[in-house]
Structure 1
Amino acid sequence: MRYTTAENDFEVEVTRTLQKWCVTVYQLPNRDILAQDFFPERWKALARAQDFIRLLNQRNKKENAEAEVEL
């Protein structure tokens, strides 16, 4: 399962590896790995992936709001 940020600058992927669920955060377009975490249960991995996407999207909103204030 893959999630992408609103601006398509990051991607979060949930995969099954080593008898655990892996959450990997990639920076696009090169797919450089920024973070990786492992969970014993799929629902925990999916929840963490959604948390990463939410946080990354909030970061973009804050940067845009600060830029508008400076103008």
Structure 2
Amino acid sequence: MAGIGGCIALIVVGAVLTFASDWQMESVNLDVVGLIMMGAGLLGLGVYGSVLRRRRVPAALPVVDGTRDRT
């Protein structure tokens, strides 16, 4: 998967299949397929968000020793 964009694409395609299509297939229920795709996209966003949050490192703060240069 290609990160956030891929997860959002899964959610969008799943929503279109579930709510906006009226196609009928004999052996496949497209509403269920759409719900599964939306769930996978949401799960992917959650996993990607937790991994991204873990990678972020707090910025190093400058060390201040309380003295000033007086020149």
TM-score by length of 2: 0.47
- Give the structure with the higher percent helix: 2
Flag the structure with larger Rg: 2
TM-score by length of 1: 0.47
Which of 1 and 2 has higher RCO (CA within 8 Å, sep 6+)?
Answer: 2
- Give the structure with the higher percent strand: 1
